[in-house]
Amino acid sequence: MSKKVLVLADVRRQKLRNVTLEMIGAATRIADGGEVGVVILGKDIKALADGLGNYGVDVSYVVDSAELEHYNPSAYRKAFMEAVRDFEPSAILMAHSAVGRDFGPVMAARLGAGQVSDIVDIEGEGDDLRFVRPIYAGKAFTKVRIKQGTTIVTVRPNNLTPAEAGVGKAGTVKELAVSFEQPDLATMVREIVEKANTGVDLTEAKVIVSGGRGVKDASGFEPLKELADLLGAAVGASRGACDAGYCDYSLQIGQTGKVVTPDLYIACGISGAIQHLAGMSSSKVIVAINKDPEAPIFQVADYGIVGDLFEVVPMLTSEFKNV
């Protein structure tokens, strides 16, 4: 039976992040011939709705307001509910990002909906869809089937096939006027303190060069950054490296850090603790550089290099320069 599926666009700095197209692709599959809607919330974001019909979107809802410039659960809920009332979705998709992790449960409670978090795949067809999500820190996968009611799904970026242009639907755009008055808003964002731009976004990066306690100190990240710059990669880290003060916690990958799924993950001086694997083991190709041949990271690595990272990484950089 066809369904109506609503996607919350993942907007960062007035741009749609890649996961939005991945969700539109998934929504089209879940809808099974039914309608796909997209909700775009933010400030100065109207233009983002242009052309989404070409990716298969039937209706785009836009709420453009200063109150939505930064994520605020109360303001988001108010705006999103306007679209929900109009569209009446049977499933809602949002990114498994900092926003989606918070807003999914907010909407699930509001709608009395069931939630499936952090999906990495969808199996089956029609009414027999199963959402695949990792459990036990990525050691196993569970397949969840929702039998009734509205479903809220959060989608791990970089795993599902993005929708492609060329569908050629006209697609309608509906601008919703929502007024945000203070008594409605339980929380207010007073100030955003932005980190200095650290280059490629970790959660969207196709290649990540990551360092652990083996880099020895903050300057030990320099050869990794050089390799990353050459490859157009993001730099990540283990919690060991963050705890030791070698880098900022915003780089931490793992169970209590970011979850990443790049095409290539290069782990340098990282032992491969289960909590680190939870954040990166679904990377498509894993290369491990470690001087200990018994390091657990080699059990998940596709390619292992036993050696000193301070010799191996500069060697890789100079080889890549010649490619």
Q: Which residues define the annotated binding site for FAD?
A: 213, 238-239, 252-256, 269-276, 290
- Known binding-site positions: 213, 238-239, 252-256, 269-276, 290
C-alpha torsion 136→141→142→144, nearest 10: 120
Q: How far apart are CA 271 and CA 118, in angstroms?
A: 25
Q: Is 213 in the site for ligand FAD (CB under 6 A)?
A: yes
Q: Is 78 in the site for ligand FAD (CB under 6 A)?
A: no
| Binding string, residues 120-159; x marks residues near ligand FAD by CB under 6 A | ----------------------------------------
Rg of the chain, C-alpha, whole Å: 21
User: Is there binding between residue 304 and ligand FAD (CB under 6 A)?
Assistant: no
Separation of alpha carbons 152 and 136, rounded Å: 21
Beta carbon nearer to ligand FAD, 111 or 306: 306
Query: How far apart are alpha carbons 34 and 30 in whole angstroms?
Result: 8
The minimum distance between CB 249 and ligand FAD, in angstroms, equals 10
- Report if residue 252 touches ligand FAD, rule: CB under 6 A: yes
* Residues near 161 by beta carbon (within 8 Å), at least 6 away in sequence: 22, 25
Q: Which residues contact 15 (CB under 8 A, 6 or more apart)?
A: 48
Q: Please tell me whether residue 292 binds ligand FAD under the rule CB under 6 A.
A: yes
Q: Does 212 engage in binding with ligand FAD (CB under 6 A)?
A: yes
Decide: is 97 part of the binding site for ligand FAD (CB under 6 A). no
Residue 200 CB, nearest approach to ligand FAD (Å)? 19
Query: Least CB distance from residue 293 to ligand FAD, whole Å?
Result: 9
Contacts (CB under 6 A) with ligand FAD, residues 263-282: 269-271, 273, 275-276, 279
- List the structure tokens of 295: 């390091």
Shortest distance (Å) from residue 311 CB to ligand FAD = 8
Residue 163 DSSP code: P
For 20, the enclosing helix (H) or strand (E) is helix 18-31
What's the angle, vertex CA 204, arms to CA 65 and CA 117, rounded to 5? 75
- Phi-psi domain of 137 (left: phi exceeds 0; alpha: psi -120 through 50; beta: other): left
Q: Which is nearer to ligand FAD, 135 or 186 (CB)?
A: 135
**Least distance CB 300 / ligand FAD (angstroms):** 13
Alpha helices (H) along the chain: 18-31, 73-87, 98-111, 222-231, 239-243, 274-280, 297-300, 309-321
Tokens representing residue 227 in the block: 């390799």
Nearer Cβ to ligand FAD, position 72 or 252? 252
Closer by beta carbon to ligand FAD, 4 or else 133: 133
Residue 297 DSSP label: H
Q: Which residues bind ligand FAD (CB under 6 A)?
A: 212-214, 238-241, 252, 254-257, 269-271, 273, 275-276, 279, 289-292, 295, 308-310
